[in-house]
Amino acid sequence: MIDMKKKNKKAVSPIVSTVLLITICIVLALIILLWSKGFIKETIEKEIAGETKNIDKACSEIYITPIINTGTQSFGFTNSGNVPIYAFNLKLSSNGNSEITKISSVDGGLVNPGFSTIIKDAAGNAYDYDIYEEIKIIPILLGKSKSGGIQEYQCSEKDSLIIKTI
């Protein structure tokens, strides 16, 4: 016969189980939020002449004019727009190969509106215009993110200046 006496059963109290379920839900929500944050780009904005714009729009408003010195075979550009260029990537193509070199603001990449630059390598020598099949200058702007941080933003190649194409 089965003894119908009370047995010592141990279980989690309803309060503790509720707290555990809520904690698990919060942790799962945080994990999903952090995981999905990688799929969404943070908006970067640029302020030009007192007007704040999306940085993509500022990239499309860049006007740069090529400079080609035929005597020295050097090249550069003039920032003829009103968007300051913080730095730029120089894409040099020859013989089916291309290399991209970042010219930072301290290396002469900072070109404010109305100013010009002749592009030089790390040793301070001008690049030779004749040895490349294609030369592209891809601007990099400085913008402010919604979180308040300052970030570099490379414009797309469609906003670049093509100095030479053979």
Phi-psi map region of 38: left, alpha, beta (phi>0 left; psi -120 to 50 alpha): alpha
- Say what the pLDDT of residue 26 is: 97
- Say what the pLDDT of residue 3 is: 56
- Say what the pLDDT of residue 28 is: 96
- Say what the pLDDT of residue 139 is: 92
How is residue 115 annotated by DSSP? -
Tell me the CA distances in angstroms from 147 to 39, 71, 151, 154, one per residue in order.
Answer: 17, 49, 11, 19
- Say what the pLDDT of residue 148 is: 77
Asked if 109 contacts 119 with a C-beta cutoff of 8 angstroms, the reply is no
Q: What is the largest CA-CA distance in the chain?
A: 112
Residues whose CB falls within 8 Å of the CB of residue 26, separated by 6 or more in sequence, listed in order: none
β-partners of residue 32 are none
- Say what the pLDDT of residue 46 is: 79
How is residue 85 annotated by DSSP? B
- Topology of domain 44-165 in CATH is Immunoglobulin-like (2.60.40)
Chunk the chain into consecutive blocks of 10 residues (it has 166) and report each block's average pLDDT, rounded to whole numbers.
61 87 96 81 74 83 88 87 90 89 85 89 83 90 83 87 76
